[in-house]
Structure 1
Amino acid sequence: MPAGSGNQVKGMTMQANEIAEVLNRPTSQDLLARDVTRVAYVAKDGTPRNVPIAFVWNGSEIVMCTTKNAPKLTALRTNPMVALTIDTEVHPPKILLIRGRAELDYTDGIPAEYLEANTTYEMTAEQRVEWEAEVRSLYVDGMVRIVVTPTWAKLIDFETTLPTPVEELVKRRQERQSA
């Protein structure tokens, strides 16, 4: 996407350079190096789903891999819009919110991203060899890469950025105090 081109999401426009600015912050980069995101989408029955899934950030896209028979694929073919959350388990939490459109890429083998997404788990070299052999024997029909290019992003670190409703409350408090 050319720099400066806008992404329209329900009346909210975010420019490519604004997305890049959010994603290139050190805290965002730390979060993008984590193992698991939660991907939210609308299921086939019209109800929301939010599932944890391993991912890899390749510098421009979030790549997740799944089985070819995963129910989320039918849903994503119908409505490819997704929301991702990558966060920490400490206080104050660090939260990276990303929205985008999922593109489905069916592969015959095991995508490199699937193996890469699982490299940070604590395994001995022997366990890793056994795990990869198990993966290769299980996914003989290949996998599907779910590729999301961010069209919107927000970092919430509770130090320099807050959730938008909390930012509004802080602004109102400042206005009351200065009146």
Structure 2
Amino acid sequence: MEPNEIDEVLSRPLSRELLARDLTRLAYVAKDGTPRVVPIAFVWNGSEVVMCTTKNAPKLPALRHNPAVALTIDTEVHPPKILLIRGRAELDVVDGIPDEYLRANGTYTMTPGQRVEWEANVRSLYDGMVRIVVTPTWAKLIDFETTLPSAVEELVRQRDQRA
């Protein structure tokens, strides 16, 4: 997929809505060769999906070994709105708490006092974290109105050709 095609998908209003959500599902291949999918908070910075995790997270050796990942950001209603992204994970070990981690977890309803307490607990727990940065190399938006899963799109084309 060409960069301008990716940009076109990610700049659609529905894509922007989904990229403003707080949770994605990160799919990767574990070191034993089996697939994994984990929910993880994220921030879209306009060109990259940034997720943060502990320095001892089991996914990190797998991502170092095979950085190919897929992300799904979707809604809980029917029909769902789905943004699919593929890319390569770049790992950035940082001291302290990345701003993205605080922003990604800032959408939860907390009073100002709860937020201060939560942030203090986070800062006391982590001496550093790992930023997982994914630059999209492929993207697809499925809204079940104007776009469908590719297999369904193919069935529609076949049906239309028969008619």
Is the structural similarity TM-score above 0.5? Answer: yes
Alignment of 1:1-40 (within 5 A): 14-40=1-27
**Partner deviation per Cα, 1:48-90 (whole Å, 9 max, x = no partner):** 0000000000000000000000010000000000000000001
Alignment of 1:22-171 (within 5 A): 22-140=9-127, 142-171=128-157
**Partner deviation per Cα, 1:10-46 (whole Å, 9 max, x = no partner):** xxxx000000000000000000000000000000111
**Under a length normalisation based on structure 1, what TM-score does the superposition of the two structures give?**
0.90
Alignment-mate amino acid for residue 89 of structure 1 = E
Give the superposition deviation at 1:176: 2.0
Query: How far apart in 2 are the matches of 1:175 and 1:69?
Result: 54
Query: How far apart in 1 are the matches of 2:43 and 2:138?
Result: 18
* 1:120 aligned counterpart, secondary structure: coil
**Partner deviation per Cα, 1:95-118 (whole Å, 9 max, x = no partner):** 000000000000011000000001
* 1:93 aligned counterpart, secondary structure: coil
Query: How far apart in 2 are the matches of 1:67 and 1:23?
Result: 28
How many residues were matched structurally?
A: 163
**Under a length normalisation based on structure 2, what TM-score does the superposition of the two structures give?**
0.99
Query: How far apart in 1 are the matches of 2:3 and 2:110?
Result: 38
* 2:88 aligned counterpart, secondary structure: strand
Query: How far apart in 2 are the matches of 1:115 and 1:148?
Result: 18
User: What RMSD in Å do the two structures reach over aligned CA positions?
Assistant: 0.6
